[in-house]
A = this chain, B = another copy of it.
């Protein structure tokens, strides 16, 4: 189901997970600080990961610009690999995709649903960063329904912004991940229908 290069990357990361401890030192002028804020950490891990891929001879090219989809192209067939990071001391809270853009991209081409997601949770205690866990997933394995819509989304004042992740690893989660790509695609379509009806 996952790309063979994604699987190799995932296996190698997992087998080295205990060594992934570190920190960030930011220097400007005569002040050097050990970073304790979590807001930029995901971007730093992603940049580190691209170096780690090269260092370990993985066939993965960064696409450039973390705003772009996907983050990496892997293997000879340039398959999509997206990186997501989150604070492992909380529930996953990253944006999987802009809801409108994702719906729009599905009209012409459903290949976006085939993308592999490499998900990394970290713990930052003081300035000490540790990788806590690593997952390799498809989008339907990390998305779920929510109380208001068939697909869990982030909304503010009735406007849907982003597709948000399930707590896919928790046995106690109220909403479980989907069981197949088709369940996810249907939930996406139904959510769009309900959303459009509500807007009328």
Contacts and interface: CB of A to CB of B under 8 A. Distances in A.
Bin the interface of chain A by size: 35 or more
B100 A159 contact: yes
Interface string A171-196: 00000000000000000000000000
Contacts of A91: none
Contacts of A23: 26-27
B28 A47 contact: no
Nearest to A32: B22
A33 B55 contact: no
Contacts of A126: none
A160 to B, nearest CB: 8
A42 B44 CA distance: 12
State the main secondary structure of chain A at its contact with B.
mixed
Nearest to A37: B47
A20 interface: yes
Contacts of A29: 16, 19-22, 52
Given A101-B156, A156-B100, A157-B100, A26 B39 contact: no
Contacts of A28: 20-22, 45, 48, 129, 131
Contacts of A36: 47
Interface string A28-68: 11110101110111111111100110010000000000110
Given A37-B44, A37-B47, A161-B161, 9 more contacts: A19-B29, A21-B28, A28-B45, A28-B48, A37-B46, A39-B40, A40-B41, A100-B156, A199-B199
